Amino acid sequence: VGLADPPRESVKQDIQICNKAGVRVVMITGDNGITASTIARQINMPNCDKIITGDELNQMSEEELREKVKDVSIFSRVIPEHKMRIVKAFKDNGEIVAMTGDGVNDAPALKYADIGIAMGKRGSEVSREAADLVLLDDNFSTIVDTIKDGRRIYDNIRKAVGYVFTIHIPIAFASLLAPFLGISPASLLLLPLHVVLLEVVIDPTCSIVLERQPAERDIMDQPPRNPNEKLLTAKILSKSVLQGLVIFGASFGTYFTVLNNHPDQASLARTMALAIILLANLVLVQVNSSNTDSAFRSFAKLIRDKVMWMVNIGTIAGLLLIIYTPLNHLLKLAPLSWKQLILAAALAVVSVGWYEVVKGFKRWKRT
């Protein structure tokens, strides 16, 4: 009677994805080393010909084991104590270790690993209690999908934080610069009510639209991030500051020009600048939705997303409402002609769209 326990068909592709993503997969088993090596070869695991047995582990010092785990990916005929030592060796080498298991003997290693992952279907109660995560479908592909989703969430949080910095620069600079230029309080670009109005638009854009963006196409082709790396890096901050300054230049420059030409029409100048900021906000979301793809591709990904349409249409409808209804008197604004509105929209697109040229250059440089 011949018995076989072949790997799932999807595992081979999952191993390939992990290799590209810089995630190293290691097999720790109680089976014979030849059996483990054969399975590893079927799924294209790297270093599948290098095996360490439990007996060899017993003869190794901790320092020797730390060196061995750097290029050995199969450990056979191991006992629970060996699993703990292997996890410890990886952690001592500075690796972030995720350990999977389903038996009682896996519980100590699951507990000691950075991330313990237990099997939900065939896993023991002890292993599930010791683990940080439980796989309800006992599928290795779920782990790979979770890594991808985790990267997407972290990437989107970074985009949202960068967006917050960008969009607040024109608000802050407009409030600071106007008094230095001798502009009277009644003619300021942003009155307190306008700042509150902008925050009402910014918060849902940040927390709903950007944080629900799909993953970048190459997100699993990138190496893992440095765990010591800060959420807001100098590169992200400099990009956000530069984008914010350009939006500020477009909005405040338009406001100051109109105010100089028509000193008695501060409400008109204010409306032009406010329209530029609000419309630039919509374009900024699409441009910053992806670090590599164009804004058109990012928009196409969410073309059927109702939330994105609600935010975009709601912002435009709100802008038209405060400009062309009696609310404009309450908000110290003035109705714009269609030419003025089109000019404001064009300036908003240009003030943000220039970054598409930068992304295009980066894509060309990669190819």
Is 94 in a helix, a strand, or coil? coil
CA-CA-CA-CA torsion sign (205, 208, 209, 213): positive
Regarding whether 157 and 224 lie in a shared domain, the answer is yes
Confidence check: pLDDT of 210 > 90: no
Position 312 scores a pLDDT of 85
Residue 2 forms part of a structural domain: no
Confidence check: pLDDT of 207 > 80: no
Tokens representing 53?
A: 């047995």
Residue 357 forms part of a structural domain: yes
More confident residue, 364 or 134: 134
- 72, 42 Cβ separation under 8 angstroms: no
Q: Which of 189, 183, 184 is nearest to 333 (CA)?
A: 189
Q: Write 140-144 long-range contacts (CB < 8 A, 24+).
A: 140/8, 140/10, 140/11, 140/14, 140/100, 141/8, 141/10, 141/11, 141/14, 143/98, 143/100, 143/117, 144/14, 144/17, 144/18
Regarding whether 361 and 245 lie in a shared domain, the answer is yes
Tokens representing 262?
A: 């028509």
More confident residue, 17 or 4: 17
pLDDT in tens, 312-346: 888 899 899 999 999 889 889 999 999 999 999 99
DSSP state of 223: P
Residue 239 forms part of a structural domain: yes
Amino acid at 39: I
DSSP letter for each residue of 323-338: HHSTHHHHTT--PPPH
More confident residue, 65 or 307: 65
pLDDT in tens, 309-320: 888 888 899 899
Classify residue 325 by burial, with Cβ atoms within 10 Å: 0-12, 13-18, 19+: exposed
Classify residue 323 by burial, with Cβ atoms within 10 Å: 0-12, 13-18, 19+: buried
Give percent of the chain above pLDDT 90: 51
Q: Domain tally for the chain?
A: 2
Regarding whether 240 and 331 lie in a shared domain, the answer is yes
* Region label for 60, one of left (φ > 0), alpha (ψ between -120 and 50) or beta (otherwise): beta
pLDDT in tens, 265-324: 899 999 999 999 999 998 998 898 888 888 888 888 888 888 888 888 888 998 999 999
Segment 245-263 shows an average pLDDT of: 93
Position 217 scores a pLDDT of 87
Question: What is the average pLDDT value for the chain, to the nearest integer?
Answer: 89
Confidence check: pLDDT of 250 > 90: yes
**Overall size of the chain counted in residues:** 367
Label residue 90 by pLDDT band (50, 70, 90).
very high
Regarding whether 165 and 107 lie in a shared domain, the answer is no
Residue 5 forms part of a structural domain: no
Q: Which of 343, 336, 299 is nearest to 319 (CA)?
A: 336
CA 260 to centroid of chain Cα atoms: 43
Range of the domain at 270: 151-366
H helices, E strands: number in the chain: 15, 6
CA-to-CA distance for 27 and 318, rounded, in angstroms? Answer: 57
Regarding whether 57 and 194 lie in a shared domain, the answer is no
Last residue of one domain, picked from the residues 91, 114, 143: 143
Position 315 scores a pLDDT of 87
CA-to-CA distance for 211 and 65, rounded, in angstroms? Answer: 42
Label residue 22 by pLDDT band (50, 70, 90).
very high
Position 219 scores a pLDDT of 92
Is 99 in a helix, a strand, or coil? strand
Label residue 214 by pLDDT band (50, 70, 90).
confident
Regarding whether 345 and 197 lie in a shared domain, the answer is yes
Last residue of one domain, picked from the residues 143, 164, 192: 143
Regarding whether 256 and 285 lie in a shared domain, the answer is yes
Last residue of one domain, picked from the residues 143, 169, 197: 143
Amino acid at 47: N
Confidence check: pLDDT of 366 > 80: no
- 197, 331 Cβ separation under 8 angstroms: yes
Q: Which of 88, 58, 86, 55 is nearest to 72 (CA)?
A: 86
CATH of the domain at 120: 3.40.50.1000
